[in-house]
């Protein structure tokens, strides 16, 4: 969900549900947590719920950095495997 939000400036909650292949309840549950932690901002326009990352939040920047690091391949992964066999 955070990866999707990082790529898009703002998004409607149902579009986020579709892009993450989740359910509304799953997204809503996670949004509540992220809003409480000031990672995500939610704006209501009538019945529309628009979501965006709070890029000014230190927590958001740390989470995005962690996702970036986790997505990268481990350098010299062959060496790590051979070291574990010894």
Q: Which of 27, 55, 52, 28 is nearest to 41 (CA)?
A: 52
Task: Say whether pLDDT at 11 is over 90.
Answer: yes
Burial zone of 39 (CB within 10 Å; 0-12 exposed, 13-18 middle, 19+ buried): buried
Phi, psi of 44 (to 5 degrees): -105, 130
Q: Which CATH architecture has domain 2-71?
A: Orthogonal Bundle (1.10)
Chain segment 40-79, per-residue pLDDT in tens: 999 999 989 999 999 999 999 999 899 888 888 777 656 5
What is the pTM assigned to this prediction? 0.72
Sequence ranges of the domains in the chain: 2-71
């Amino acid at each position: 969900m955070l990866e999707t939000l990082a790529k898009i400036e703002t998004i409607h909650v149902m579009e986020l549900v579709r892009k993450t292949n989740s359910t509304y309840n799953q997204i809503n549950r996670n949004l509540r947590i992220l809003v409480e932690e000031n990672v995500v901002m939610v704006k209501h326009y009538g019945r529309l719920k628009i979501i965006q990352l709070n890029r000014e939040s230190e927590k958001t920047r740390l989470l995005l950095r962690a996702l970036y690091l986790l997505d990268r391949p481990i350098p010299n992964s062959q060496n790590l495997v051979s070291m574990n066999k010894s």
